[in-house]
Amino acid sequence: MEKGKRILLLGAYSMEVVECGGALLKNVRAGGVSHAAILFAGEQMQADLIKSAEILETTVEFLNMDAGKISVSYEEKLALIKIIRSFQPEIIITQDPEHCISDLDPGRRPFMTLVLEAIALAGRDYARDDLPGLSPSGGATLYYMTPENPNCVIDICDIWEEKCAAMDALETQLIYFGKIEAATAENLACRKKIVPNWDACQSDLERGTLWKREMDKAFYMYPGSTGHCRAYFAETYRRDGVFVLENLMY
C-alpha cells in the first residue's frame, strides 16, 4: 500500500473492524481514510467498538439492523447505498461469500446478498429521488476479509500491538470467550494448555483476553509459518477480480 486510499468496511458484526484493523490502520497512516459501517451490534458492543475504532484511527457507524430479520429490502439497500455514495470509497472490504455459507452466525447469508446488491446499485442511476444530493459511487476494488481462499495478505507486524489493544477493548466479546460454565472438561483442559496461567485468572474477562490473544497470535502468524510468505503477522484477504500490474511485484 504505497499511499492511502478511501477504505470502507461493510461489516456484519463489531469484531470485524478489529479483524481488518491492520489494513484499516495502515491505510490511515499512509495518508488515507478508513471508515466502518456495522449492521448488527448491541448497545454495549457499540460502546466497546468505538474505543477499538479510536485505537485503529477508523471512524465507525452503526445501522442497528436485526440479524434475524434482515430481508434485503429496498429500505435496507438504501441504507447501505447511502453510506457508499456518501463515503465514495476506492476500496470496500466485506465478509467472504464462501465463508458465510457455513458460518452459523445469524444474518450472515442475507447480509452477503444485501451488501453485494448495495455495492452494485450504488454505482448505478438507482434511487436518486430517495437519496438526493448523492452521486453514484462505483468502481471500488472489493476485498473479502479472512477468506476461505486468500490471494493476498497485509503485513501487520508493525501495528501488531495496536491491533491487540483494539481487541482488548472489545470487553463484551472477550467476556463471552472467557466464560467456562458451558465448557466441557476436555475443552477446559485444552484451554489450560494454550493459556499457561489459566487457573490464576480471576474473571471471565481476564480468561477471555488471554485466550483471544493466544488464538490471534496463532491465526495471524499462520500464513508465514507454513510456507514462503515473508509476513510474520499477516491479515489474509481475497481480492475480487484479477490484479492489474505495471510490472511483476517482489
84 falls within a domain: yes
| Residue 186 pLDDT class (50, 70, 90 cuts) | confident
pTM for the full predicted model? 0.95
237 falls within a domain: no
Q: Are residues 149 and 43 in the same domain?
A: yes
pLDDT of 131 over the 70 cut: yes
pLDDT tens per residue across span 74-84:
999 999 999 99
Q: Are residues 149 and 160 in the same domain?
A: no
Predicted pLDDT at 189:
87
Q: Are residues 221 and 111 in the same domain?
A: no
pLDDT of 235 over the 60 cut: yes
pLDDT of 231 over the 60 cut: yes
Q: Are residues 109 and 163 in the same domain?
A: no
126 falls within a domain: yes
Q: Are residues 21 and 119 in the same domain?
A: yes
Q: What percent of the chain has a predicted confidence (pLDDT) above 90?
A: 84
pLDDT tens per residue across span 107-123:
999 999 999 999 999 99
Its sign, for the CA torsion 49, 52, 53, 54, is positive
CATH code of the domain covering residue 81: 3.40.50.10320
Q: Are residues 167 and 147 in the same domain?
A: no
Predicted pLDDT at 182:
62
Q: What percent of the chain has a predicted confidence (pLDDT) above 70?
A: 98
**Phi (first) and psi of residue 81, to 5 degrees:** -60, -40
Q: Are residues 144 and 193 in the same domain?
A: no
234 falls within a domain: no
64 falls within a domain: yes
244 falls within a domain: no
| Residue 185 pLDDT class (50, 70, 90 cuts) | confident
Q: Are residues 104 and 196 in the same domain?
A: no
240 falls within a domain: no
1 falls within a domain: no
Predicted pLDDT at 164:
98
- Quote the mean pLDDT of the chain: 94
Q: Are residues 144 and 171 in the same domain?
A: no
Cα separation, 164 vs 250, whole angstroms: 29
Domain count for the chain, please give it. Answer: 2
Domain end residue (candidates: 96, 128, 153): 153
Predicted pLDDT at 14:
96
Q: Are residues 41 and 163 in the same domain?
A: no
Its sign, for the CA torsion 173, 109, 7, 141, is positive
Q: Are residues 146 and 44 in the same domain?
A: yes
Domain end residue (candidates: 138, 153, 168): 153
Q: Are residues 184 and 76 in the same domain?
A: no
- Its domain, for residue 101, covers 6-153
| Residue 187 pLDDT class (50, 70, 90 cuts) | confident
pLDDT tens per residue across span 40-85:
999 999 999 999 999 999 999 999 999 999 999 999 999 999 999 9
